[in-house]
Structure 1
Amino acid sequence: MTNTPFAVYDKSSGRVLRAGVCPEDDLAGQVTDASEDVLQVAGLLQDLYLFRVEDGALVNAGPDLETAKRLKTTELYAACDAAVRAGVSSAALGSAHLYPTSDIDQSNLAQAVLAGGKLWCQDGAGTWALLDHTAAQALVALQDFQTAKDAAREHLATLMTEVEAAATPSAVQALTWG
């Protein structure tokens, strides 16, 4: 087995994230390690490029199919989570209001379904306020949230089926949340 020089860098900044020498069959492992250690936190999965040196020149090796699928899976799960936490519109109070949907907001909404309570929401004019909700109103807002969450999860499931069916790294990389 021959050792191959490689470099993993961020396309947008040009920063080298990892460089070294490894066996040719471990190039994909370098991509995975870099993505888990650096890129996933920085949100740069789509800007990952792996290069190896051939005849003194850098050649884009790109991720192999398995690595491309693993990176895309991470990216799509993060996009689904962001969609779920982006907030939901509900007319539970009679007109459209935007409800935040962080973990604590979801918990507060679920608790308000039991006995009513104050929920943080934004009206159509953009004003945020802690407004009283009856249990029935909270239930409507919760149902609207659940509908939006289910839609995001269904979209993720569809995309994951496409990721698994993809036959090339470029086909995987072409898949997007939007």
Structure 2
Amino acid sequence: MRYGRVPENVVVEIVDLPADITPSDAFHEDIAKTFEPISDDVQEGWVRNGAAFKAPPLPVIALDDIKAGRIAALTAACAAAIIGGYKSSALGSEHTYPSGITDQINMMGSVTASLLPDLAAGWSTPFWCEDEAGEWAFRPHDASQIQQAGSDGKAWIVACQNKLASLSAQVMASISTEDVSKIAW
């Protein structure tokens, strides 16, 4: 037999007892009197509604909280896009460049080095990138190539940030949960 412990009209515990054992047989009398027979569909947390039990109502979440959650999700998606790599044709054909935090620091260092005065003739610096065939290699870049690759990386970051700003503005202007739920990265 299935019993629920129901103090203050809320099912806080469920026990299954053999048919010949009642809660009075299994528990101290103070506890036993809080148990009553329940149907198989009743779950912990359900609330008494007259003679029946119902699932508790879902909490109402304020629209401002829903908006804050959506903006947090969009911000995370933006961060993932930023560090997910970007494309540049600095080497004459399209290559994919890594853009994790360390990659961004390395790119800044390479671009800075390319701008130093008295740069040696034929100066180049190697940088990881993936060609159109999917092959990653540490490819040499001259000053203008590394500057272009760095500029393209910065443009990618700004594009992601602009997209985040636009989507966040749409979220803030939304007047319903349904409108907010339609806004995605």
Q: Does TM-score exceed 0.5, indicating one fold?
A: yes
Partner of 2:66: 68
Q: Distance in 2 between matches of 1:64 and 1:108?
A: 44
Q: Distance in 1 between matches of 2:46 and 2:64?
A: 18
Q: Which has the larger radius of gyration?
A: 2
Gaps of 5+ in 2: 1-9, 11-44, 115-123
AA matched with 2:82: V
CA deviation after TM superposition for structure 1 residue 96, in Å: 0.9
CA deviation after TM superposition for structure 1 residue 61, in Å: 3.3
1:127 corresponds to 2:117:
no
Partner of 1:25: none
* Aligned positions of 1:1-178 closer than 5 A: 55=49, 56-61=54-59, 63-113=61-111, 114-115=113-114, 116-177=124-185
- CA deviation profile, 1:69-94 (whole Å, cap 9, x unmatched): 11111100001111111111111111
Q: Distance in 1 between matches of 2:47 and 2:62?
A: 17
Q: Distance in 2 between matches of 1:111 and 1:117?
A: 10
Higher strand share: 1
Q: Distance in 2 between matches of 1:52 and 1:158?
A: 42
Contact 1:112–1:133, Cα closer than 8 Å, also in 2: no
Gaps of 5+ in 1: 6-50
Q: How many residues align?
A: 128
CA deviation after TM superposition for structure 1 residue 59, in Å: 3.1
CA deviation after TM superposition for structure 1 residue 169, in Å: 2.2
- CA deviation profile, 1:48-84 (whole Å, cap 9, x unmatched): xxx9968422433353212101111110000111111
Q: 1:52 to 1:86 in 2, by over 3 A?
A: farther
How much is the aligned-residue C-alpha RMSD, in angstroms?
A: 2.1
CA deviation after TM superposition for structure 1 residue 165, in Å: 0.9
CA deviation after TM superposition for structure 1 residue 157, in Å: 0.7
SS in 2 for 1:61: coil
CA deviation after TM superposition for structure 1 residue 121, in Å: 0.5
Q: 1:52 to 1:130 in 2, by over 3 A?
A: farther
